[in-house]
Structure 1
Amino acid sequence: MAKAFIRRYLPTPEQIREMKGLGFLRNRLSDPSLWHLNRRSASWAMFWGLFCAFLPVPFQMVPATAIAIVFRINLPLMILLVWITNPLTLLPFMYSGYWLGSHLLDVPMLTWHQLEHLATRALHMSDAPVDAFEVGLLQQLKPFFLGSVVLGLVLGTIGYIAMRYFWRWHVVTAWRKRLEARLAQKSNDISAQ
């Protein structure tokens, strides 16, 4: 079944409970619906997991866990999907989000020199006093934020639909195999008589 195929790649409840950064959510992880895997929970986990993966915020596992708890959907699959954006894949996804946002807002893409300057300013914002915050920085990051959210929504929707179809295909295939096995058994019984 689809459950067995998906469960092979998911972390166990114990592994997730031991993850750092969950804090106050750790005691809510005993809800059995967070660990139940069916078509509904897997499909919604695909949507929310991919959406949270592209959120332009640090610690994306925390909102993903909160969403899983509130909507009672499969947590391990969501956590697995959130890690699509990891330190190795982060730059291509950030660039894709910025590219999409700049096209949606119809603003020109930044040059490499401008991106380097923007990154330097963003990294040193914590060192500067609050009144030194530049409004231009927020304006330059607006395409990135918009593009990341839209990219998360689009990929989450595609993931939701793909999981629904994958689950249905897997169930129908299993039904057909069982039907063929029964028909083969019935024809063997008839020929044996």
Structure 2
Amino acid sequence: MPKKAIKRLMPDHQSIKENKYLKIFGNLLHNANLWHLNRHSVAKAFAVGLFFAFIPVPFQMVLAAGAAILFHANLPLSIALVWLTNPLTMPVIFYACYVVGAWVLAEPPQDFVFEASWQWVVDSLSTIGPAFLLGCGILAVIFSILGYVGIQTLWRYSVIKAWKSRCYKDIETK
């Protein structure tokens, strides 16, 4: 069942409550609904976490935490899913965002060489920025919806499978 697998992988809620960046939420972190694992809270957490994973801003975890509190999603899972975009996956994911944005804007993708400097970021905002930001928004919404629907479907399937398994065991024992 997904609940057991997710529970094993989730960080401890006490460590999240003590995170220095999340202390701005104060008593809102004491809401018990933020820590429960059920089909709806996990599906919302996937939607929130995947959405903010594709948004190229600093402090994605804080934004995901705020949205998790707002939508009563599972907080640790929402925060953990933001790390889908990590230093190893970020170049590939954000390049895909740029390609999608360029395709939607009907622009041919431009060749560019990434430089880790603030000047490069500022200069690139006028050239590849619009396509990149549009692609990030589009993929954020798409993967957010896919994550929500996928978890709802997977969870429901596993519950039905467990019920059928239980029914067959009851029939065999009679």
Say whether the fold is shared (TM-score over 0.5). Answer: yes
Residues 48-67 of structure 1 aligned to structure 2 (within 5 Å): 48-67=48-67
Q: Which runs of 5+ in 2 are unaligned?
A: none
Distance 1:138 1:21 in 2: 32
Aligned to 2:147: 159
Distance 1:39 1:137 in 2: 40
Distance 2:32 2:120 in 1: 42
Tell me by how many angstroms 1:106 deviates: 1.4
Aligned to 2:6: 6
**RMSD of aligned Cα (Å):** 2.0
Q: Secondary structure at the match of 1:8?
A: helix
Deviations 1:69-124 (A, max 9, x none): 11111111111211100111111111011111111111222213xx447966245x
Residues 22-37 of structure 1 aligned to structure 2 (within 5 Å): 22-37=22-37
Flag the structure with larger Rg: 1
Residues 59-78 of structure 1 aligned to structure 2 (within 5 Å): 59-78=59-78
Contact 2:61–2:79 (Cα < 8 Å) also in 1: yes
Contact 1:118–1:137 (Cα < 8 Å) also in 2: no
Distance 1:174 1:86 in 2: 35
The alignment of Structure 1 onto Structure 2 pairs a total of residues equal to 174
Q: Which runs of 5+ in 1 are unaligned?
A: 126-133, 187-193
Q: TM-score, normalised by structure 2?
A: 0.90
Contact 2:102–2:109 (Cα < 8 Å) also in 1: yes
Q: TM-score, normalised by structure 1?
A: 0.82
- Identity of aligned pairs, percent? 39
